[in-house]
Structure 1
Amino acid sequence: MSADGAGLGPAFDAVMARVAVTAEAVGPRFPLYAEPSDGRWTTTGRGSWTGGFWAGLLWLRARYTGDAADRRAAAACTARLAPWVGADTATRGLILWYGTAPAGDDAGAAELQGLGARAMLSAYDRELGLVPWGDALGGPRLLARVDGVPGTVPLLAGAGGQGAAAAAAHLSRHLDLCLGATPGVLIPALTFDAVAGWQPCPDPPPGWSRGRAWLLLAVADALLRPDLSLPGPAARLGEAAERLVAQLGSTEHEFPGGSGPVPAADAGRPDGPLDTSAAAITAVALLKLARVPGPRAAGYAYRAEAILGRLAEDHVTGPGSGRPTGMLLDGCYDAGKGLAVRHELVWGDFFLALGLAAVHGIVDITSV
């Protein structure tokens, strides 16, 4: 694979073809994960925390094809995300940012994004210094989780001056809590107790594959937002990015454990399932970091394309495989529960497609 992304075009074509097949199969429902044997999707009616990724994939398809019918399908799917504006969950960042940002100048998507930004700002807790995880998906409300940061940062920033301040505080608080003081250890989730303060949660565990990927993505988004001013030294975000990237390992072994650019779903179980979705998220984060001026930009771009290339070569189904073409396999929904541990995941598809679209100039990675 060359430095300009040659060789990734067929993979993008295959993933876009898979989006078309999926759209026919799921109708008005939202795909969640698909069986590796036959590509049959498990779906949800409202989309859960992953609904925005399906809308985002449909917008990427509309950009790819230029077809008016594809654009209408994407707009209709985004409109179905509207009930999440009023839901008490920090995953509104994932739902309402990634479900609208790839839409470009679509008026309906822009309106929904604005409503989501204002709703997130109203949920910001000044005493805690963040938007709590919320109780819309069940469980305790006062959590800080790394998957409540990506999407939330740019979404909040869209709410103007107060939103930008809340976005900066939200990210800064999560960096304090999740990176902690122990080098190399990331705490993906903490719960708040009025007496004991913030305490680590056992689930997801410290070795959770997507923990570092989600936080790196949020940091990359913030570095692309000059309107964010985080407390502390101006170089803090760059230092956080370097620290997170360093924990990925060397160029030859992108992740610890010798698994190449695809990490184990749980670092504590190196012989367990992999998680291609974490690798795809990381690739997008690195592409964003490559757009931040600095001496490491070219290295970030190289590593991002290396990850995308490995995913395309080793984990995307092709013709003659006996399975639908364009599936990104070996994603792990929940290793601890044994749920969908070698499957196609809708957010894995989205971030792979977004990374490939950025490499081919179909989208501007700084705007999504």
Structure 2
Amino acid sequence: MVVWEARWQSALDHLCGRVRTIHDRVGEAWPYHCSPGERQWDTTGDGDWCGGHWVECLRIVGELTGDSALLEEALRRTERLRPYLERDDMFRGHRFYYSAARQYAWTGQERYRTLALAAAYAVRSMAMPGSGIMPIGTQVQVRSTNLSGRDKACIDNVHPNLILDWWAYARTGDETFVAGARRHLDATIDDFVLADGSTIEFADYDTVSGRKVHHFTLLGAHDDSCWSRGQAWAIAGYLRAYEALNDARYLATGKKLLNYWVGHCDETLVPPYDFKDPQLADNPGAVPVDTSAAAVVVEQLARLALKRDLGPPATDALNYLVPMIDGLLTHLTPRRVGDLGEPGILLNGCFNYPKRYATHSELIWGTAYLLFALYYLKTGRIVE
């Protein structure tokens, strides 16, 4: 059991205020990232891969502040995402879990349950026939990258591809969701998780036989490196699987991945963008950190902290929750007394270092995951 810390309240208040500020600046667009010192956000017209995250940010702030206008906007934006149900994209899991599924839990309106279930079945149908591995999809959408295909999978897939499996199984009892998720989780342990607890990022597959052809990186330093946001998705994905299934193997995998993380970070537990970038050996300061990666892990640890029936084996992982939150808050403005900048900015997110794209920026999903975590801990509940 993690006790709410008084020092976190100001961070939550600042994040809520920041969501309002971002909302006022982007209007009907969807926020994506913002460079240090800039007021203007880079936006998208459709939310890209993280539109659902923005919907849930608006819902949470609307709930906590009693702002009905934000709650109504969250509903409208959920409807704006509806046309992307048929996009062959792994991120439909995130897009519709954080929007439709959560809106159904909040409002009880059946159309959002139907939309979330439709997305769950659509994502589940993407599995490669030979291996059950979940691919990235032929229309996967992430600005700054253009990789796609039903023969390609990434370490991320244990989170966005499976998040609706757990939600849909809990509401339908359809074993298809659990069986499919297990196939992907087990294959990912074999094909992506290394003996030392690090992970590779991408792999191509022979979709008929299910054989992994080769591995490579897109956002990491080199093909055998360990991109930290991918590691974060893997930690969160396996701990989420343990939360859903109480399967000791998935907890052991999540803890193994988390232990690698802790062993390769400083005391803040905010990681370099890549744990195996060669520059770290000689000049660690030359390598950017990624606060958004840490926020992904914190959100899942906060989820676990609310569960009452997980048992003692999860305690080791939960021991990192408080130091990880406090480490992230060293990157949240104001960073010290007397700072005159805008409050609630989560600094030092690294989107795509190989392309030098938003490498020291405020990233909307980093803000979202830290907000989600503090919301869970403050309210003692997860709306789903």
TM (norm. structure 2) is 0.84
1:147 to 146, 153, 156: 156
Q: Give the count of matched residue pairs.
A: 353
Consecutive unaligned residues in structure 2, runs of 5 or more: none
- Give 1:143 deviation, angstroms: 1.1
Q: How does 1:201-220 map to 2 (within 5 A)?
A: 201-205=216-220, 206-220=225-239
Are residue 156 (structure 1) and residue 169 (structure 2) matched? no
Q: How does 1:249-268 map to 2 (within 5 A)?
A: 249=262, 256-258=264-266, 260-267=268-275, 268=277
What CA RMSD, in Å, does the superposition of the two structures yield over aligned residues?
Answer: 2.4
Q: How does 1:83-232 map to 2 (within 5 A)?
A: 83-103=83-103, 104-106=105-107, 107=109, 108-136=111-139, 137=141, 138-141=146-149, 142-157=151-166, 158=168, 160-180=174-194, 182-193=195-206, 197-205=212-220, 206-226=225-245
- Structure with greater helix percent: 2
- Give 1:259 deviation, angstroms: 5.9
Secondary structure of 2:93 counterpart:
helix
Moved more, 56-65 or 41-50: 56-65
Identity %: 26
Residue aligning to 1:308: 325
Are residue 277 (structure 1) and residue 295 (structure 2) matched? no
Question: 1: distance between equivalents of 2:47 and 2:343?
Answer: 24
Secondary structure of 2:376 counterpart:
helix
Residue deviations 1:213-248, cap 9 Å, x none?
10111112111213x9xxxxx531121122112112
- Give 1:22 deviation, angstroms: 1.0
Residue deviations 1:168-227, cap 9 Å, x none?
2222222222104x323311211124697331113233321111110111112111213x
Question: 2: distance between equivalents of 1:124 and 1:218?
Answer: 17
Structure 1 pair 344–155 and aligned structure 2 pair: CA distance change class (3 A): same
- Give 1:345 deviation, angstroms: 0.4
Structure 1 pair 43–277 and aligned structure 2 pair: CA distance change class (3 A): same
TM (norm. structure 1) is 0.88
Secondary structure of 2:366 counterpart:
helix
Moved more, 160-169 or 43-52: 160-169
Structure 1 pair 72–169 and aligned structure 2 pair: CA distance change class (3 A): same
Structure 1 pair 68–4 and aligned structure 2 pair: CA distance change class (3 A): closer
Structure 1 pair 47–71 and aligned structure 2 pair: CA distance change class (3 A): same
Secondary structure of 1:190 counterpart:
strand
Report the AA paired with residue 303 of structure 1: Y
Residue aligning to 1:252: none
